[in-house]
Amino acid sequence: MKKVIWIIVALAVGGYFVNSYIKIKANRNAEAAETKRIEEATKSAISAMVSRTGAIDDWARTLSEGGDFRLGPILTIELERLWLQNRPILFVGAIKDIANYDESNYMVLVETDPFDTSNFLFGTKLQLSLRATRSRIDSFLEEHPNIFKNLGLNNSVAVIANIKAIKTENIAGKEVGGEEGKVGEGELVDIVLSGHI
């Protein structure tokens, strides 16, 4: 009789663990499917934005000379050839700051994100300082209220921008002394949350 009870208990415990495993696996599959759906929707939104604006989206590959990274310095003249055209550029990075510009506009600072593995890695820090309408930025922030949570690790954006000038600045980093970086100045055309896509 005791043997039968132990068999029943063992079957019940085994059934519980099998059921738990099946639920966990189903949840992981659902999460993976949702992540893939979000990635595809984001890629589609960025592609549509590039197509709609006619933006230059291959400047980073040209600048990296076909590789995934470039550790040597980037000269201003190289960026002038790529960014100062009659077309806007696609820039993927993280919002570093938003400041008042005037009654109708903000200045938005976007910087290449070193944690974004889908982006190219450059030894020279690249930033965009963009004038953007308050209504556009306010609606973007309302749509994405958690963009600056989680230590800013998920605040990557894809922006389309018309660049008017490029300057060299000492940008905070590399301990206290800072490092030389390039800043493209211009106007924001469009923006979407990319979330490291």
The 10s digit of each residue's pLDDT in 54-101 is 999 989 888 887 777 788 888 899 999 999 989 999 999 989 999 999
What are the tens digits of pLDDT across the range 8-66? Answer: 766 677 777 777 777 777 777 777 776 677 778 778 888 899 999 999 998 988 888 77
Query: Residue 122's CB: how many other CB atoms inside 10 A?
Result: 20
What's the confidence (pLDDT) of residue 170?
Answer: 79
Cross-strand pairs, 161: 89, 188
| pTM tops 0.95, yes or no | no
Q: How far is CA 192 from CA 56, 81, 149, 163, 177, in A?
A: 16, 26, 17, 18, 33
